[in-house]
Structure 1
Amino acid sequence: MARIGIIGSAGRMGQALIDAIAAAGEVHAGGVDKGDDLAALAAGSDVLVDFSSPHALEGNLDTAMAAGVPIVVGTTGLEERHHWLCDAAAEQIALLQTGNTSLGVTLLAHLVREAAARLGEDWDIEISETHHRMKVDAPSGTALLLGQAAAEGRQADLGAVSERGRDGITGARARGGIGFAALRGGSVAGDHTVHFLGDDERLSFSHLAENRRIFAKGAVRAAQWLIGKAPGRYTMPQVLDL
C-alpha cells in the first residue's frame, strides 16, 4: 500500500483526500498545514499531494526534493515563477502539476484540444466558469487549463490570444481570440463550459463538478501513478494515457 501525505490538510480538500485515500486502499501518511513539520511527513511518505497555497509552493518543493519524494501539485492560482519552480524541481523528482485533478476535466481538455485543431479560427472560443463565493483566483485554474488546451490545438500562445474582463466599448472580437468569463457565488464546486461558436452553429463541451470528491479521487489516482516514476514533469493526460 502507498503512503500518501497531504499538504494543506486543513483546507476544503483535506478531508476529501483522506476519504479518497482510504477508498483507494492506500495509507494516509498524515497531513500538514502552515507551521507543521513537512520534513517529517515527507520522510514518511511515498508521495505527497499539495493543495495548500501558491506562496507555500517553493518551500513544499524544496522539502520534497530534499526527501526525494514525488509530489502532485493541485494548488491553483500559480504564476509564471511557480511554473519555473516546478520545472526546476522536476529535474530532481517526479512532479505532476495540474489546474484540475478531475479525470473528467482531463478528458474534457483532450476533447477541446482536438476540436480546436479541427475547427480552426473560423470558430470563436469562449470559456465560462462558475465557482463558490470563497474562490480567490480568476479565471480558475481549470479554465486556464482548458484555454491552454484550445490554444495548443490551434498552435497558438494562450497569453497572446486570451481575452478577459470585457467592459465598455471593446470593439469587434479579434479573430483567433480565446475569451474567459468568471462567475462567483453560492457553493458551486466548479462548472466549466467551452463554447465553439461558428457561423450558424455552436458546439459546447461542459463539465459540472457536484462534489470535491472528484478532485480528491483524481489526485489520489495521480499520486498512485507517480510513485516510482523517474524525475520529470508529468501531466494528468499521461495518467489516463491520452
Structure 2
Amino acid sequence: MKVAIAGAGGRMGRTLLKLVTETEGAAICGGLEAPGSETVGSDLGSLAGLEPMDIAATDDPSEAFRDADVVIDFTLAEATSHNALHAADAGAAFVVGTTGLNAEQQARIDRAAQKVAVIQAGNMSLGVNLLVQTVKQVSAALGIDWDVEIVEMHHRWKVDAPSGTALMLGRAAAEGRGQDHDAVAVSGRDGITGERTKGEIGYAALRGGNVVGEHSVTFATDNERIVLSHLANDRALFAAGAVRAALWVGGKPPGIYDMTDVLGLK
C-alpha cells in the first residue's frame, strides 16, 4: 500500500512517516507540506528521524499524491478539505484525522467520497471507538432521566472545541436515547444559566500543557454517577489507528467510512 502523508513535517506527520515505514505491507510514496513551510524540500526519511528516503516534501498536492493508493491527513480543516479533492483527482483513498470542519469544508470531503473511499473519524483510537459504542449502550439503558456531561482536555495548541472525540461521544449518547444531538447539546456554560434542562448533553473543554487527549462521560442521577473515561498517553495511538485504516481501505468502493467499519464494530 503506497501512502502519502499530508502535513508530513508536523508532529503527527513525522510520527506517521515513521510508523508507515515500520509497517509491513505499507510504504511512503509522498509527503505534502504547506507553501512556505521550512520543511518543503526536506527528505521525508530525515524528517522522521530515519535514513533518507530520496523522497522530498512538496507543497504541490498533485505531486505528493500522484503515486498514492491512500493519503493520510491530520492537518487543518481548510487544508484537509482541499487535500481530499486533490486525493480524489489522483484516485487515492483518503483518511481524515482532522476535526473541526465547517459545513463548506465537509461538503468538499463529501464530494471526494463520490470518487474514492474516505475514512473520517473524530478519533482514530481503538479505545475511543470502543468507548463510543459503550456510551451509546449505557445511554440507551439509562434513558433521559440521567444527566450527561462530557469533559475533555487537550494540549494548548488545539484549535477546535469541543474536540471531535467529545462530539462523537455526545452524539453516541444522544443516539442511544433517541435524541437530536444538536437540539440538546450545551457547550461552554457561563454566567447565570438557570437550572439545568432535562435531557441536555453538556460539554466542557480544557486546554493546557501538552496533554494528548483526555475524555470522560459522566451519567449522573440523584444518588449515583457513572463515569466512563479514556486517556491518551501518546499521539502514536492515533497514528496507529490511521495506518490501520489506510491498510483496510484499499479496494473499497467510494463512500464515507469510519473507524467502526475499520474495526468491525458495526
2:142 is aligned to 119
Deviation at 1:111, TM superposition (A): 0.7
State the structure with more CA Rg: 2
Q: CA RMSD in A?
A: 1.2
Higher deviation after alignment, 205-214 or 24-33: 24-33
1:186 is aligned to 209
Residue from 223, 229, 233 that aligns with 2:252: 229
Partner Cα distance (2:62, 2:129) in 1: 31
**Cα deviation digits, residues 152-189 of structure 1 (max 9, x gap):** 11222221110111112111111111000011111100
Partner Cα distance (2:2, 2:256) in 1: 21
2:175 is aligned to 152
Deviation at 1:118, TM superposition (A): 1.4
2:103 is aligned to 80
If asked which structure has higher relative contact order (CA below 8 Å, sep 6+), I would say 1
Deviation at 1:98, TM superposition (A): 1.1
Aligned AA (1:106): N
Aligned AA (2:29): A
2:89 is aligned to 66
Aligned AA (1:117): A
1:22 is aligned to 21
Deviation at 1:24, TM superposition (A): 2.0
Does the CA-based 8 Å contact 2:148-2:218 persist in structure 1? yes
**Cα deviation digits, residues 55-84 of structure 1 (max 9, x gap):** 113321221121111000111221122222
How many residues align? The count is 241
Partner Cα distance (2:64, 2:177) in 1: 42
2:33 is aligned to 33
Q: Say yes or no: does 1:6 pair with 2:28.
A: no
Please give the TM-score of this superposition, normalised by the length of structure 1: 0.96
In structure 1, runs of 5+ residues without a counterpart are none
Partner Cα distance (1:23, 1:202) in 2: 43
Aligned AA (2:68): S
Q: Say yes or no: does 1:166 pair with 2:165.
A: no
Deviation at 1:13, TM superposition (A): 0.4
Higher deviation after alignment, 199-208 or 18-27: 18-27
Partner Cα distance (1:103, 1:237) in 2: 9
Q: Say yes or no: does 1:177 pair with 2:177.
A: no
User: Does the C-alpha gap of structure 1 residues 65 and 190 become closer, same or farther in structure 2, counting only changes over 3 Å?
Assistant: same
In structure 2, runs of 5+ residues without a counterpart are 36-58
